[in-house]
Amino acid sequence: MTELLYLQDAYLRENEAVVLEVTEKAIVVDRTCFFPEGGGQPGDPGTINDVKIKDVKLENGVALHIYEGARPAFAPGDRVVCRIDWDARFARMQAHGAEHIVSGLAYSRFGCANVGFHMDPDGLMAVDFDVFLSDEQLSSIEYEANACVWRDHAIIAKIYSNAEAANVFYRSKLEFLEDPRIVTIENVDSCACCAPHLSSTGQIGVIKILSSMRHRGGVRLTLAAGKGAYLDYALKHAIAASVGQALAVRPTETEAAVFALIDRNKELSYEKNAQLTRLLTYMKDETPLSDAHLVRFLPSLNVEELKTAVMIFREKTNGVCVVLSGDDEQGYYFAMSSVRYDVKTFSREVTSALNGSGGGRYDVVQGRLKADRETIERFFRDFEVTEK
């Protein structure tokens, strides 16, 4: 068994210990300030002497300190110093405290049960609730969660006997826990939890719901808190400032300017499509009707524009019409159609012969060909349609 010192002091950053065992993957000591992975929170990184610890797992009461690099020269009985990465631990305690607050408020205000929790190594959290919450409800939870931070409520972690726990209400994903460790946030939440926690909510700093999505009849939230929330805000602020500068508007005007730009781009796209259709129609009118396959190479057309072009040009051939855009080096995107044939029936024959891929319906097939222009033209010059 390993004595887990963080249960008594979550702020303990290092401790002396005696080595009990060293395996090909892990170091076992008699006592540790490291938190082993559990409750959705990753195990602490850190060092044992100069050996880097990347993770810690608890198996049958024994903390396995997973190390990096070659097997250390420790022998059972050696005395070592366990030292956690405090910045990582503190950021994760900030995040976990925020999760308790948000989960407690979701439960007390809207009857939501926390049915899933995962924290990544940087403290970003995914939290699942069994009831869907609207944006308005989430906004109110977020505000109250931050108000809890501002009020600096006490956070108390205590192990209760079964008899004591019977008289205490607390949230838990399990129906019964033997001598549960309950984390209580004054006036906000009480929840069974194995992880280290801060001593007060003020140390969390800030809580932010980054996103929400429907999930299994409820909702999945992405949360950030403390250092993680600050870093997220700093990044997004820099992005917003850069966009505002590019658009030559004040920060508060960035949103309106972006939407105005989107609307203008839509207008320009409509104008471009109309002009392209007029140009293609003119080119079609200048093309004589023929029984031979019609192959046209047009520069700088996207997939949708190729489709528009082929549906216009196909009227000028009783065979197959193919419109392509690209170059010999990168290959050609194409659209193929015909007023006479079901092009889907022989599209695989075409793409196979020209090292390509594609798909579509009976009236139009689109895809990409990795052949040069001369090869493509020669293929369609000799191609005989065989419908299946």
Report the pLDDT value the prediction gives residue 354, as an integer from 0 to 100. 97
Query: Yes or no: is domain 287-382 CATH 3.50.50.60?
Result: no
Report the pLDDT value the prediction gives residue 187, as an integer from 0 to 100. 87
What are the residue ranges in the chain where pLDDT is below 70?
387-388
Across the strands, what pairs with 80? Answer: 17
Q: With pLDDT > 90 as the criterion, what percentage of the chain qualifies?
A: 92
CATH (one of 3.40.50.300, 3.30.980.10, 3.40.50.720, 3.20.20.190) for 90-238: 3.30.980.10
Give the separation between CA 31 and CA 4, rounded to whole angstroms: 6
Report the pLDDT value the prediction gives residue 166, as an integer from 0 to 100. 86
Burial 282-315 (b: 16+ CB within 10 A, else e): eebeeeeeeeebbbbbbeebeeebbbbbbbbbbe
The ranges assigned to domains in the chain are 3-84, 90-238, 287-382
Report the pLDDT value the prediction gives residue 369, as an integer from 0 to 100. 97
Say yes or no: do domains 3-84 and 90-238 share a fold. Answer: no
Report the pLDDT value the prediction gives residue 251, as an integer from 0 to 100. 87
User: Alpha helix (H) ranges present in the chain?
Assistant: 86-110, 135-151, 162-165, 226-247, 254-285, 303-313, 347-353, 373-382
Report the pLDDT value the prediction gives residue 200, as an integer from 0 to 100. 97
Report the pLDDT value the prediction gives residue 176, as an integer from 0 to 100. 73
Topology adopted by domain 3-84: Elongation Factor Tu (Ef-tu); domain 3 (2.40.30)
CB atoms closer than 10 angstroms to residue 59: 11
